[in-house]
Chain A
Amino acid sequence: MSDLCNVTVTVNGNRYERDVEPRLLLSDFLRHELGLLGTHVGCEHGVCGACTVLFDGEPVRSCLMFAVQAQGHEITTVEGLGTMEALHPLQEAFWEAHALQCGFCTPGFLTTLVPFLEEHPDPDDDEIREAISGNLCRCTGYQHIVDAVKLAAEKMRA
């Protein structure tokens, strides 16, 4: 085992400090060290998108970063988007438009789409499909996800 490194990060607005092995992936740090199990791990090579989190506000693959690289940065996981009492409009829309079945892929879609909707308040189908091209869903066939994004955009414009 290599020496432990100290890392301090802000996740969903809370500051955490831990001593970790440099090889610990950010995805495993979030899940195993912080107990934030919303970030899912599918492929660990950047293809599936399930592990997507916001790193200083931008969607990135948490399986393709080391936890030590998050030193001093801000991370938002799916847990930080809304609360059980007050879901994010996108989460509500996913629910209402049946945009998930097993839900494994959902955290990655949500974290990818929240910044997208901020930049594209009224996206068309092509823009939405482009935005979700880095996230795989094995259940829904994507159509309901596209519908949910449109519904969310409507809610957020209202």
Chain B
Amino acid sequence: MKPPPFEYYAPTTLDEALALMAEHGYDAKALAGGQSLIPMMNFRLAQPEILVDLNNIADLSYIRPSDDGGVLIGAMTRHKTVGHSPLIAERAPLLHETMPNIATEQIRNRGTFGGSLAHADPSAELVAVSVALDARLRICSQEGERWVPAKEFFVSLFTTILEPEELVVEIAVPPMPERSGWSLKEVARRPHDFALTGVVAVLTLDDENHCQQVKLVYLSAGDGPVEGIQAAASLQGQPLTAENIQAAAEIAASEDVDPSSDIHATAEYRRHLAKVLTRQTLEEAYERAISNTQ
């Protein structure tokens, strides 16, 4: 199908873009990589009257070190650029490992970090990973800017706290604490498809190598990024034995996730995947955390 008509603007500065968003508000949508918005327009699931194309704003595409040891990523930075960045590989290894899972090369050449978060698809890897890493988003309008933690940014299916006139401009990813390990695992019908279920684990150990803190965030497991709160609580202060990990995985599958059935998989199967993947990610995160303490 073909997209419905719209008016097109291609600003070259953020100020111009924000002025257009302020002027057109509810009728306008930002166009980033277009890898989610254009399919939706082709199907006429989205019918914006005005598109504000961010692709000519060179200042929105960068990866920089931040003073806290983490990284700052411009909203228009493409998936490909993030995936190939040595700075990301060094300072945000979980992100580095995540990128090849996102779609295929042709999509990664266009899709952007900010677009993926603003789209808020509960199946998107970056949505879950940004929550697991405590990333923060810098959001701008003509009125000013605000910083919002990823956890508070996502409201529901394809819904965020963004006001119609606001744009995501930057994402700050803090460094992982010392003695930490991470893991991302997902199951998809074919490599690079959206995951049927996926889990991101970030684990920090105390001096006795017990669990000081763990974050589990699930993809395709509910209306947004789903945190494994009960499972994480069960591990708090505990040694990461096979029994404890298995128990946490069972809690996650029965209490934390809330998957639905669709043509790709039943809710029951997704729960099963959540259990198996929780165990696997915790095991891998633990191994990495241990090797990071040596």
Contact = CB atoms under 8 A, between A and B. Distances in A.
B109 A63 contact: no
Given A23-B3, A68-B10, A133-B104, A60 B42 contact: no
A61 B51 CA distance: 19
Contact of B6 (A23, A25, A69): A23
Contacts of A21: 5
Contact of A60 (B5, B51, B110): B110
Given A25-B2, A45-B42, A134 B34 contact: no
Which of A23, A49, A131 is most buried by chain B, counting CB atoms within 10 A of its CB? Answer: A23
Interface in A9-23: 21-23
Given A22-B51, A45-B42, A133-B190, A2 B109 contact: no
Interface residues of B, number: 30
Given A64-B38, A65-B110, A59 B6 contact: no
B35 interface: yes
A46 interface: yes
A3 interface: yes
A55 B4 CA distance: 24
Contacts of B139: none
Interface string A50-81: 00100100111101111011010000000000
Contacts of B5: 1-2, 21-23
A68 B110 contact: no
A59 B51 contact: no
Contacts, number: 87
A112 B106 contact: yes
A44 interface: yes
B64 interface: no
A5 interface: yes
B86 interface: no
B35 A133 contact: no
A54 to B, nearest CB: 10
Interface residues of A, number: 31
Given A22-B51, A23-B2, A133-B192, A61 B107 contact: yes
B55 interface: yes
Contact of A64 (B4, B10, B35): B35
B1 to A, nearest CB: 6
B262 interface: no
A131 B107 contact: no
Contact of A134 (B4, B10, B41, B107): B107
Contacts of B55: 69
Contacts of A63: 38, 42
Contacts of A131: 105
A68 B3 CA distance: 14
Given A5-B8, A21-B5, A65 B192 contact: no
24 contacts: A22-B5, A22-B7, A25-B3, A25-B42, A44-B39, A46-B39, A46-B103, A49-B104, A49-B106, A58-B80, A59-B105, A59-B106, A60-B106, A61-B35, A63-B38, A64-B34, A64-B39, A66-B8, A69-B10, A69-B55, A112-B106, A134-B106, A134-B107, A134-B192
- Please provide the 4 A-B residue pairs with the shortest distance between their CB atoms, ordered closest to farther: A134-B104, A22-B8, A45-B39, A2-B5
Interface of B: 1-8, 10, 34-35, 38-39, 41-43, 51, 53, 55, 80, 103-107, 109-110, 190-192
